[in-house]
Structure 1
Amino acid sequence: MVVPELRPWRAARPHVVRIADAVRQCLARAADSVRPRPGRIAAALGPRSARPDRPGSPRVPRPKTWQFTATAATAGLALAAGVVTAAGPWDSSGQRTAERHRAVALEASRGADHGGSRAHAGTPPRGPQAAPPAASVLTGLGGTATAARSAPAAKSLAGVLGPLLKSPVLGRRSAAVVDVATGERLYGTGSDDALIPASTTKIATAVAALSAMGPNHRLTTRAVYEPDTEEVVLVGGGDPTLTARKKTRGLAGLHDLAERTAAALAKRGVRDVTLSYDTTLYKGATMHPIGVNPNLAAVTPLMVDEARTDDSTSGPAPRVADPAADAARKFGELLEKHGIKATPPGPSKASTRAITLATVASPPLAALVERMLTNSDNDLAEALARHTALATGGTADFAGGGAAIIARLTHLGLPVKGAGIAVKDGSGLDRRDKLTAGLLTALLVKAGDPAHPELRPALTGLPVAGFTGTLAGRYTEGAAGVVRAKTGTLTGVNTLAGTVVDKDGRLLAFAFLANNTPGPAAAQTAMDKAATALAACGCR
């Protein structure tokens, strides 16, 4: 097998070059381990896309090795990089978009993949051809690989994972592995013990929010006009992705809102206004119990660019002290550029008599969930927890958000009772959060259930090993492109929960939690080794 050179990618953006180089390495390893015979590639693609056998040619059996799964996943990611300009800022590979299209197609066919070749399986109706999504999610969305072989044997799986997870660098540990197709637990050690989950809490937040509001829900920011006082009120709708940047790339833009607001005021003959802002959507404290921290802004329903003071879009960053006042000030400056003179803004509350001048809406909840999981976005996580509370009649504060998450998981029939399970925030920054490995795997299985297509973004948003989000710099060898997982890190806490396709093409959900770890680097390496071993395991 000849591995193609990818030199034309050198002119691309740096992250695309990195993806291309990683793909080339993966293809090279596959070439060394697999010597293709005539027709083998066609056979690997399955009967829908394979060419008919030529008369007199021998029938070639389908390969049973895992290399084709890994190669297909990484090649799909390489092709996806070519549609970067059509993707959102957290979808640099285009893979998320393709997976959402496939989920829609499968939902329309009641969870079954009935038509066409694999090349077109992820394409929405009447739309351009989407990039191929990773095989690990294709399996969870109704692919045929799951039915090809039975799940790993529990005893053999324990023999592989047991020694790796008994490492002293993992401190107090909890682990579970579940077959996504059947929900059967294949491996467990302390899997019903509630430990600090750190950012894997975001999986629970994602499932609860999607369950409560649906994947198409959007968060709306409004500008309203009080005719009695000639006051313009900027009403926060709880969208932390509202941006003051000119190039919004699908996000709700403050520039657009100001332009539309100014136009509406001009039609009324209004040129001078009192500017106010409304943050009453949320209740309670705005400061997270963790305190002032670069990982999270003050939790308020009105902010732009997550209150970051630099040009970053993810990760830790310095934040403004009062995000709502900062957003309103920037809005006022934009109004003045459009000929509307505004006073310095102050807090207020829009009355029931207020007339809506203009609105802007966030991307759909499915995209917000994917961004939250891929980048471990704490600001989005806290916003989604509060919106889950609002959607279910609760109070939009830290306690109400946590209670709403537990209530939605209970509604879905997930194991949240007993064992000391607790959710105190949406992000997992609160050390009082307690989840079990059993619950985390149950969440992942539920997200892959054909009966709940609305939960699919909780799977497609998981970082891809070696390629995206918080796993971009991990798994550069072995399981890159095959492991997809949410990471979690606090002082003395390391966690990892996600999905993996094993050697036989079986989709497995896993969760590894470690508390009282002596050091983050060693614990992270131990968990990565366990996930890599799970990917390579046939375990018969």
Structure 2
Amino acid sequence: MTRVASAVRPRLAQAADAVGPRLARAATAARPRVARLARATKPQVARITRAKTWQYTAGAATAGLALAAGVVTAAGPWDSTGQRTAERDRAAAQERTGGADHDGSSGTSSGTAAAPRPAPSAASVLAGLGGGAGGSLKSAPTGRALAGVLEPLLKDAALGTRRTAAVVDVATGTRLYGVGADEALTPASTTKIATAAAALTAMGADHRLTTRAALEADTGELVLVGGGDPTLTAHEDAEGWASLRTLADETAAALKKRDLREVTLSYDTTLYAGSELHPIGVNDNLAPVSALMVDEARTDDSAGGPAPRVTDPAADAARKFAALLEDHGIRTTSPGPSKATGRAQSLATVSSPPLSALVERMLTNSDNDIAEALARQTAVATGARADFDGAGRAIAAQLDKLEVPLSGAEFLDGSGLDRGDRLTADLLTALLAKAGDPAHPELRPVLTGLPVAGFTGTLTSRYTDGAAGIVRAKTGTLTGVNTLAGTVVDQDGRLLAFAFLTSDTSDPWAAQSALDKTATALAACGCG
């Protein structure tokens, strides 16, 4: 790896000279992160046998750091190293993973893992946003060159009978390549990109979801009011996330100040409307969609992946809350449903991390529970009915504000579990490009939350022999459906957004491999 560092230093210097003193300072600040990335990718590099792949895996990541550092600082809510503060906080908090990539055939890592490793660099995601600042980047790839690279791979029989694709230059928003790009197909979990963009547009990156305990002074009823936070946890290691234990501690203290040692306990889930059960029915990939739940209503100690869920998440949360109050000497009645009145006094509250962090966790881990919560929250924020239908309409309405192509799009849920969902490759790439637009810094978590090839989330065990750290993409898997949408930094330093959607696949593993090869080829392309 010493040779790698020596080889890339001239590239850092050249980029700094081309862009100016500001980038030089940013590149200097980024060097410690480059060193950490080199150490982190050593196992992957050791397995790479082809020289060209080795060069773009090690070299493009380092060049991306240098090219992006100055641009990112100006373009979005980043810290001085170019890494999203929410991403850093998530890594420090070692939060639990959640969700699963749909039908369990996507090759996700075990849900018992502590947490996804932080991305090698959030900055490298935006390496191409300079658009050739200072003449440091070559022109964007041509459509003919991209066709020559991608079309043979997209014809792989493993990709089924229907496949669509689009590639967009993020710096300009220009579509460079498309095959059936305006044809709407089942998107599977890439739907979460649309859910994320809609939620961030409706509520902003700093919005938080609050759970509270409220006391009805005239009746003495204590109401646990759900705020729709699916990351609320009863685990002791809850640093960085809303803790039911903290809420119980503070509530018990407030009750004792009022000389109350026994209360009638109830719970309020009226923030959401309609059925809690997803149209697919009972499924280990998703809890009933409730405004009040703890640890995603899992019945085991798993942190992510499929797991049996309780049938009534709100009642389960209230029972756990009662047990925690009892530890403080507060006795409660058996909890039942209710609704807090406007006269109720809030005794204690706990809030989720900012929406930016929730979006990143949702995308990285393909967390279906967070996805459905953010769809409902989008409805709540915009005055729509907070059920499946209302959430779908709210998502479409918010995306329409972004002026992205919505023709053929249908949103029946927020997670992509519903096979009736429809998205186009054009829409997915337009959303990714919009997330890189300096005019929309609130959308940046759509990019930084994407799983990193070989490092995080649903791509942890993929791309170990190529493009590790360069491809960042949301996976999607349903029976007969395989999709992939995300970004790559190509050999010329351009940031490209891509979307590949396939239907009628018969072998999910072969289809997944074919999509990975296609994204890898795009990253290796010097087609400008």
TM class by smaller structure: 0.7 to 0.9
Deviation string 1:220-257 (CA, Å, 9 cap, x unpaired) is: 00100012221101000000100001121211000100
Give the Cα–Cα distance (whole angstroms) in 1 for the partners of residues 413 and 251 of structure 2.
35
Distance, in Å, in 1 between the alignment partners of 2:437 and 2:201 is: 13
Aligned residue for 1:148, secondary structure, equals coil
Whole-angstrom CA distance in 1 between matches of 2:39 and 2:137: 21
SS of residue in 2 equivalent to 1:299: coil
Superposed CA RMSD: 3.2
What percentage of residue pairs aligned between the two structures are identical?
Answer: 66
Between 1 and 2, higher relative CO (CA 8 Å, sep ≥ 6) is seen in 2
CA shift digits 1:382-429 (9 cap, x unpaired): 00000001111101110011100000010111111x3x2101000000
Distance between the aligned counterparts of 2:376 and 2:221, measured in 1? Answer: 28
For the 8 Å contact 1:231–1:273, the answer to whether it is kept is yes
> What amino acid sits opposite 2:148 in the alignment?
G
Equivalent residue number for residue 427 of structure 1:
415
Equivalents in 1 of 2:443, 2:145: separation in Å? Answer: 32
Q: Is 2:508 the counterpart of 1:538?
A: no
Matched letter for residue 205 of structure 2: P
Pair 1:490 & 2:478 matched: yes
Report the TM-score, using the length of structure 1 for normalisation. Answer: 0.80
Pick aligned residue for 1:279 from 246, 269, 280? 269
CA contact (8 A) 1:140 1:448 kept: no
Decide which of 469, 478, 496 is 2:457's aligned counterpart: 469
- CA displacement 1:288-322 (0-9 Å, x = unmatched): 01111110001001000001122222211111111
The aligned runs of 1:336-375 (5 Å cut-off) are 336-375=326-365
Q: How does 1:326-345 map to 2 (within 5 A)?
A: 326-345=316-335
How far apart, in 1, do the equivalents of 2:222 and 2:296 lie? 23
Task: Name structure 1 gaps, 5 residues minimum.
Answer: 4-29, 53-67, 80-98
Equivalences for 1:228-239 in 2 at 5 Å? 228-239=218-229
Q: Number of residue pairs matched?
A: 465
The match for 2:497 is 509
CA contact (8 A) 1:320 1:326 kept: yes
Q: Confirm or deny: 8 A CA contact 1:103 1:453 kept in the other structure.
A: no
Q: Deviation at 1:351?
A: 1.2
Go from structure 1 to structure 2 and tell me whether the alpha carbon gap of 1:203 and 1:443 turns closer, same or farther (over 3 Å shift): same
Any idea what the Cα deviations from partners look like across 1:174-225, whole Å, max 9, x if unmatched? Answer: 1000111111111111110000000000000000000000000000001000
Instruction: Tell whether the 8 Å contact from 2:129 to 2:170 is kept in structure 1 after alignment.
Output: no
Normalising by structure 2, we get a TM-score of: 0.82
Q: Deviations over 1:3-45 (max 9, x none)?
A: 6xxxxxxxxxxxxxxxxxxxxxxxxxx58xxx839x6265256
AA aligned opposite 1:36: A
Where does 1:386-425 land on structure 2 (aligned, <5 Å)?
386-416=376-406, 418=407, 420-425=408-413
CA distance in 2, matches of 1:36, 1:108: 26
- For residue 424 of structure 2, what is the amino acid of its counterpart? T
Residues 140, 405 of structure 1: CA spacing in aligned structure 2 closer, same or farther, 3 A cutoff? farther
Distance in 1 (alpha carbons) for counterparts of 2:364 and 2:413: 18
Q: Is the 8 A contact 1:119 1:132 kept in 2?
A: no
Are residue 43 (structure 1) and residue 13 (structure 2) matched?
Answer: yes
Task: Determine the C-alpha separation between the residues in 1 that align with 2:420 and 2:377.
Answer: 21
Aligned counterpart in structure 2 of residue 188 of structure 1, from 178, 182, 187: 178
Q: CA separation of 1:120/1:283 partners in 2, compared to 1, >3 Å: closer, same or farther? A: closer
Alignment equivalent of 2:38, drawn from 49, 54, 75:
75
| Bigger Rg, which one | 1
Q: Distance in 2 between matches of 1:264 and 1:103?
A: 49
Structure 2 residue ranges without an equivalent (≥5): 26-30, 43-63, 90-117
Give the aligned residue type for 1:165: L
**For residues 187 and 282 of structure 1, what CA distance do their matches in structure 2 show?**
41
Structure 2 residue aligned with 1:159, among 148, 154, 160? 148
Contact 1:73 / 1:133 at 8 angstroms: preserved in 2? no
Distance 1:529 1:415, change over 3 A: same
Shift in CA distance, 243/141, structure 1 to aligned 2, threshold 3 Å: farther
